[in-house]
Amino acid sequence: MTPASSMNAALERQPPRLMLADPILTMTGIEKSFGDVRALRGVDVTVYPGEVLGIVGESGSGKSTLLRMMNLEDMPDRGEYHLALPGQEDLNLFTLDRFSRRMLRARHIGIVYQNPHLGLRMNNTSSGNVAERLLMAGERSFAVLRARAKESLDASEFPISRMDARPSELSGGMQQRVQLAKAIALEPALLLLDEPTTGLDVSVQALVLDTLKRLQRERRITMVIVSHDLGVIRTMADRVMVMRNGDVVEQGLADQIFQDPQHEYTQQLVHAKL
Amino acid sequence: MKLDQLTKPWEAFSYGFLDQSAKREMRRRILKAIAIPGYQVPYASREVPIARGWGTGGLQVTLTLLKPSSVVKVIDQGADDSVNASSIRKFLRRVSSARETLDTMEADVIQSRHRIPEEKLREDQILVLQVPNPEPLRPVQPDMSEARIMHGDADYGQLWLTLYEQLVRSGRIMQGSSYPSMVNGRHVMTPSPIPRWDVPKMHMAANLTILSAGREKRIHAVPPYTRVEPLVFDDVPYRIEDHADKTCYRSGVTGFFMNELPQDDGSSSFEVSDSQYGVKHIRRQEGEPVTLGETYYREGRLER
């Protein structure tokens, strides 16, 4: 089931229990170049329902480019992308037109960016930022928008008394919570987290990670988290994919990757962390 | 080289000031705007002898529509007697021989800045609205290319978000004029800076409305009997200005859109904004045989 690309020289480990289900996300042979730079070299990714896939690697390894493609913000030069969504035809999402991609992204994929300016409208209220996502899905009742924005913010452990404060008036940790509330407002099939705690101090980082773990536990949200911080990946991920120079060098269960890394680069990463 | 070699021989202006190619282009653009209600059609806005921002868009449309037998009325913020309205009316008469009128019911073409007359327009009348900013998405998306993509996708979430923010911050929708409105269930347009009072008049109106922005070089249109629906939340109804119980101190009419006139003692008096409608009332009270047309509103309530 899981494509083990020889091109990636990936070492596929024993699958976790979650992998017994059909995958929710399948990407195969993803290639992307920026000029002479090959950002992704035929990457294969499989994500199973309810699991957290961590993607680690140094800067320039291609992990954020891959995440942008999962969010249909960027298109590859080559490759296929399938999402198993209820009631949706199984097709390569990269063949969809721009409008269909945008609608699919708005309805089924949530994302939390490292930089809140990318994910939030800083001069709108926090509740408005969440409501925007609901408005895109066609909700037109003001009372329902208020209630659902409140519910999402509450689930993200954002203080409801500040729900009408502008993100520009909030701390970095609070801004990430607003992003998270916006991302989960429509209960997405896939939640993408791009370095969600980078730039936050350690105590705030821990709180945000706790919130993410609780949400994942309670709602069984499928998550893909990208980080260069192995501590974050270790805390969050069920499975880990290690990337370097646009290739997947190793992937497997989080515990195995951290306790018994096989690839030289992974060993360097893990030992550098330790 | 002599001056007469550098200049063209004298020739008369074209009928209606604009040359034929300009008018032909305008007519094509107007037809396209009518074919796609609410869609902004770009056009090569010509120079006319008034400054940009003073009604050049409306003037070009009116000049294209007029013929010698036309009867034209020009309104400026409800009034027929402002300098701008008088100047445009005089110019139109000089270049087209069209007859001027102040009476809404008598006019074939009505060029207006920021108001729709209180008397109902008919199928044989055309309303030309001057538009300073035709792009409803401008406040939320300053990039015109992006805004056009958003129109193409009917992506109006950010306009709804603006209304949401107004409700959260002020407890009511604060958009006083240029209220974003969905035309024919597809394109959101700005109906020019007409007050909220006037927007429902456009819904399923019998007349053709052409909205033209000279500076921004865009035309859009609302064909007769077309849906024009202000963006509103399901549970927050559209509200017009609270003028239903106001009485014009000059004409005595009640239940129409009013201009507020602050008084020295801190109070306010009101006069009906559609000045000619007020004048007709006064003349009628003085015994003149004046015909008052059917109005969109009666006693402050919209008639359907």
Tens of pLDDT, residue by residue over B62-93, are 999 999 999 999 999 999 999 999 999 999 99
B143 and B262 part of one domain: no
Architecture label for domain A17-115+190-273: 3-Layer(aba) Sandwich (3.40)
A-chain residues near B161 (CB < 8 A): 121, 124, 128, 131-132, 135
Residue B241 lies in a domain: no
Per the CB < 8 Å rule, is A131 touching B153? Answer: no
Lookup: tokens for B198:
């006037």
Average pLDDT, chain B: 95
Q: Which residue range(s) make up the domain with B263? A: 258-302
Per the CB < 8 Å rule, is B161 touching A145? Answer: no
Domain boundary, last residue among B215, B230, B245: B230
Q: Residue ranges of the domains in chain A?
A: 17-115+190-273
Distance to chain A for B148, nearest Cα, Å: 13
Q: Which residue of B has its CA nearest to A102?
A: B153
A-chain residues near B168 (CB < 8 A): 125, 127-128, 164
Answer for the pair B213, B129: CB distance below 8 angstroms, yes or no.
Answer: no
Angle of helix B157-170 versus helix A142-155 axis, rounded to 10: 90
**B48-52: long-range pairs with CB below 8 Å, 24+:** B48/B17, B48/B18, B48/B214, B49/B17, B49/B91, B50/B87, B50/B88, B50/B91, B52/B214, B52/B215
Lookup: tokens for B273:
């904004």
Candidates B221, B167, B235; CA nearest to B192 is: B221
Of A131, A135, A140, the CB nearest to B234: A140
* Cβ-proximal residues to A75 (8 Å cutoff; 6+ apart), any chain: A69, A94
A-chain residues near B235 (CB < 8 A): 141-143
In this structure, the number of other CB atoms found within 10 A of the CB of residue B276 comes to: 22
Q: What is the CATH number of the domain that holds B102?
A: 3.40.50.11310
Q: How confident is the model at residue B131 (pLDDT cuts 50, 70, 90)?
A: very high
B189 and B226 part of one domain: yes
Per the CB < 8 Å rule, is A143 touching B235? Answer: yes
- What is the per-residue pLDDT for A274? 47
B149 and B292 part of one domain: no
Candidates A218, A118, A234; CA nearest to A167 is: A118
Candidates A90, A67, A68, A94; CA nearest to A81 is: A94
B-chain residues near A140 (CB < 8 A): 160, 233-234
Candidates B161, B164, B163, B156; CA nearest to B189 is: B156
B-chain residues near A127 (CB < 8 A): 168
Q: How confident is the model at residue B21 (pLDDT cuts 50, 70, 90)?
A: very high
Residue type, A128: G
Count: domains in chain B: 2
- What is the per-residue pLDDT for B109? 98
**A115-123: long-range pairs with CB below 8 Å, 24+:** A116/A167, A116/A172, A116/A175, A116/A176, A116/A178, A116/A179, A119/A179, A119/A182, A119/A183, A120/A167, A120/A175, A120/A178, A120/A179, A120/A182, A121/A167, A121/B161, A122/A166, A122/A167, A122/A168, A123/A166, A123/A168
Q: Which residue of A has its CA nearest to B161?
A: A132
- Strand-pair partners of B211: B129, B220
B123 and B269 part of one domain: no
Residue B82 lies in a domain: yes
- How many residues are listed for chain B in this entry? 304
B199 and B267 part of one domain: no
* Cβ-proximal residues to B205 (8 Å cutoff; 6+ apart), any chain: B121, B222, B224, B225, B226, B228
Helix (H, G, I), strand (E, B) or coil at B85: helix
Residue B278 lies in a domain: yes
B170 and B282 part of one domain: no
Tell me the mean pLDDT in the region B158-181.
94
Per the CB < 8 Å rule, is A164 touching B168? Answer: yes
Distance to chain A for B180, nearest Cα, Å: 15
Of B161, B234, B236, the CB nearest to A135: B161
B204 and B262 part of one domain: no
A-chain residues near B157 (CB < 8 A): 132, 135-136
- What is the per-residue pLDDT for A53? 96
> Which of A97, A100, A124, A186 should one mutate to test binding to chain B, selecting the residue with the greatest count of B CBs within 10 A?
A124
In this structure, the number of other CB atoms found within 10 A of the CB of residue B232 comes to: 18
Answer for the pair A72, A109: CB distance below 8 angstroms, yes or no.
Answer: yes
B75 and B215 part of one domain: yes
B-chain residues near A99 (CB < 8 A): 152-153
B264 and B131 part of one domain: no
Residue B141 lies in a domain: yes
- Tens-digit pLDDT string for chain A (274 aa): 334 343 343 344 444 545 567 899 999 999 999 999 999 999 999 999 999 999 999 888 999 999 999 999 999 999 999 999 888 888 999 999 999 999 899 899 999 999 999 999 999 999 999 999 999 889 999 999 999 999 999 999 999 999 999 999 999 999 999 999 999 999 999 999 999 888 788 888 888 899 999 988 888 899 999 998 888 999 999 999 999 999 999 999 999 999 998 889 898 888 875 4
Answer for the pair A248, A5: CB distance below 8 angstroms, yes or no.
Answer: yes
Question: B199: buried, middle or exposed (CB in 10 Å: 19+, 13-18, 0-12)?
Answer: buried
- What is the per-residue pLDDT for A13? 43
Per the CB < 8 Å rule, is B157 touching A136? Answer: yes
Distance to chain A for B233, nearest Cα, Å: 5
- What is the per-residue pLDDT for A256? 92
Per the CB < 8 Å rule, is A135 touching B160? Answer: yes
Tell me the mean pLDDT in the region B229-246.
95
> Chain A: which residues have CB within 8 Å of chain B?
99, 102, 121, 124-125, 127-128, 131-132, 135-136, 140-143, 145, 164
Per the CB < 8 Å rule, is A102 touching B153? Answer: yes
Per the CB < 8 Å rule, is B164 touching A128? Answer: yes
Of A99, A132, A140, the CB nearest to B161: A132
Residue B125 lies in a domain: yes
What confidence tens digit (pLDDT) does each residue in B264-304 have? 999 999 999 999 999 999 999 999 999 999 999 998 899 87
B129 and B55 part of one domain: yes
Torsion over CA: A67, A72, A77, A81 (sign): positive
Per the CB < 8 Å rule, is A128 touching B233? Answer: no
Residue B197 lies in a domain: yes
Per the CB < 8 Å rule, is A135 touching B167? Answer: no
B262 and B167 part of one domain: no
Residue B236 lies in a domain: no
Torsion over CA: B287, B292, B297, B301 (sign): positive
B90 and B192 part of one domain: yes
Candidates B147, B154, B107; CA nearest to B128 is: B107
A-chain residues near B164 (CB < 8 A): 128, 131, 135, 142, 145
> Chain B: which residues have CB within 8 Å of chain A?
152-153, 155, 157-158, 160-161, 164-165, 167-169, 233-236
Report in angstroms the alpha-carbon separations of B184 from A8, A260, B34: 53, 64, 11
Residue B142 lies in a domain: yes
The count of CB pairs under 8 A between chains A and B is 43
